[in-house]
Amino acid sequence: MSAVTEPYDLLESLGFKITMLSRINERRFEKLLAPLGLSRVTWCVLLAVHQERLVNPSDIASFIGIDRTATSRALKRLESKRLIRRINGRTDKRTTEVTATAAGVALLDTATEAARSNARLFNDKLTRDDRDRLVGLVDCLLQGEIREIAGL
């Protein structure tokens, strides 16, 4: 080790702790979604389509913060399971409009309850004030950052 370089305490670094928490949260949620045949990305897409009423794949991608290719893959998976329907745009046939099917809406309700359950595991570890403070701090850390990530 160089005398100029200070040791880096990986296990105490903010980035490492945030990454660990994120991965634990992701894995736990994925386990809850797996029996439903969904992933975090497909759940997010289904939520964007039904709850947020986003019909354009580009808008869905922007809302979630993933690239258009990942969105397209997720839409294809959801369509093959008949959870969404894609149709050509009414005015411009080059565009695609996405809607949730009745089966997609029903599955979304179940999956969203799994999301709430997963969130409660962490929220219940904090007081309301601590949770609000943490959300504010995370929002502060995210300011000015590019939020598009390929795999979510």
| Tens digits of residue pLDDT in 18-54 | 999 999 999 999 999 999 999 999 999 999 999 999 9
* CATH (one of 1.10.569.10, 3.40.640.10, 3.90.380.10, 1.10.10.10) for 10-142: 1.10.10.10
Per the CB < 8 A criterion, the answer to whether 137 and 123 are in contact is no
User: What's the whole-model pTM score?
Assistant: 0.84
**What are the residue ranges in the chain where pLDDT is below 70?**
1-4, 89-93, 148-152
Mean pLDDT of the chain: 92
Q: What letter would DSSP give residue 37?
A: T
Tell me how far apart the alpha carbons of residues 85 and 90 are, in angstroms, rounded to a whole number: 14
According to the model, what pLDDT value does residue 109 have? 97
Query: Which string of DSSP letters, residue by residue, matches 75-100?
Result: HHHHHHTTSEEEEE-SS-TTSEEEEE
Query: Which string of DSSP letters, residue by residue, matches 125-146?
Result: TS-HHHHHHHHHHHHHHHTT--
